[in-house]
Structure 1
Amino acid sequence: MSIERIGSTERMSKIVKHNGTIYLCGQTASAPEWDITEQTERCLAKIDALLEEAGSERNKLLSVTIYVRDMKDFAAMNAVWDAWVADYEKPARACVEARMARPDLLVEFSVIAAQ
């Protein structure tokens, strides 16, 4: 059983690959002036880059869990998400409201993909 860890620190790995499955660490993007649209766009761009680094792509997403700080942002986040997945196979998805690690974080994505 082979497990490959990419971008590891003392706390976590950026990417973990095991048995043809890719796990990404939680993806956030924040600045005090960024709204949910900007944060979502930046998170999804980071996911694209990590998938490429791991040897995968958007069409191979298996599951995505989205954490939003406030469900009032659900529609705006979904508008960005829907455009991002429009031309691709859709993953299983869950979206929950959650307390974030910092007040400026409005959204976080947890991603599992096939290699």
Structure 2
Amino acid sequence: MIERMHTGTRMSKIVKHNGVVYLCGQVGAGETVAEQTRDCLSRVDALLQEAGSSREKILQAIIWLADMDDFAEMNEVWDAWVPEGHAPARACGEARLARDTLRVEIIVTAAI
């Protein structure tokens, strides 16, 4: 069974299937990449909780940065957020994001 939550015309914010939760890409508010990353991860936390999961159960994270020069600043926030011993498989790359003001987008897959 597939369960979709917060479904619109284009996407669902949460999709659950076979004990796995898939989140749509999350972006955050703020001027700096650190502010946007913190806000984005707060949104991830809320969606994971709603789906019956948590950051300790993240299997994979895909991170898109508008500029790889922001890699170290984003990683400072990320490293403080990920629980010790629970680092997921992760990829990070540079991409043109949906709006010019966005500097980071994070996509998460987690176990329930």
Under a length normalisation based on structure 1, what TM-score does the superposition of the two structures give? 0.94
Q: Which amino acid aligns with 2:108?
A: V
> What secondary structure, in the 3-state scheme, does the structure 1 residue paired with 2:28 have?
coil
For 2:7 and 2:67, the matched residues in 1 are separated by 30
- Runs of at least 5 residues in structure 2 that lack an aligned partner in the other structure: none
For 1:64 and 1:58, the matched residues in 2 are separated by 11
Flag as ranges the 4+ runs of structure 1 deviating above 2 A.
none
Match of 1:17 in 2: 16
Match of 1:41 among 22, 34, 38: 38
Shift of 1:88: 4.7
Q: String of CA shifts for 1:64-88, please: whole Å, max 9, x gaps.
A: 0000000110000000000001435
Contact 1:30 1:104 in 2 (8 A): no
Match of 1:94 in 2: 91
Shift of 1:38: 0.2
Under a length normalisation based on structure 2, what TM-score does the superposition of the two structures give? 0.97
- How big is the alpha-carbon RMSD for the aligned residues of Structure 1 and Structure 2? 0.9
Greater CA drift, 61-70 or 22-31: 22-31
For 1:1-115, list aligned pairs within 5 A: 2-31=1-30, 34-115=31-112
Q: String of CA shifts for 1:48-72, please: whole Å, max 9, x gaps.
A: 0000000001100000000000011
- Runs of at least 5 residues in structure 1 that lack an aligned partner in the other structure: none
> What secondary structure, in the 3-state scheme, does the structure 2 residue paired with 1:23 have?
strand
* Percent identical: 57
Aligned length in residues: 112
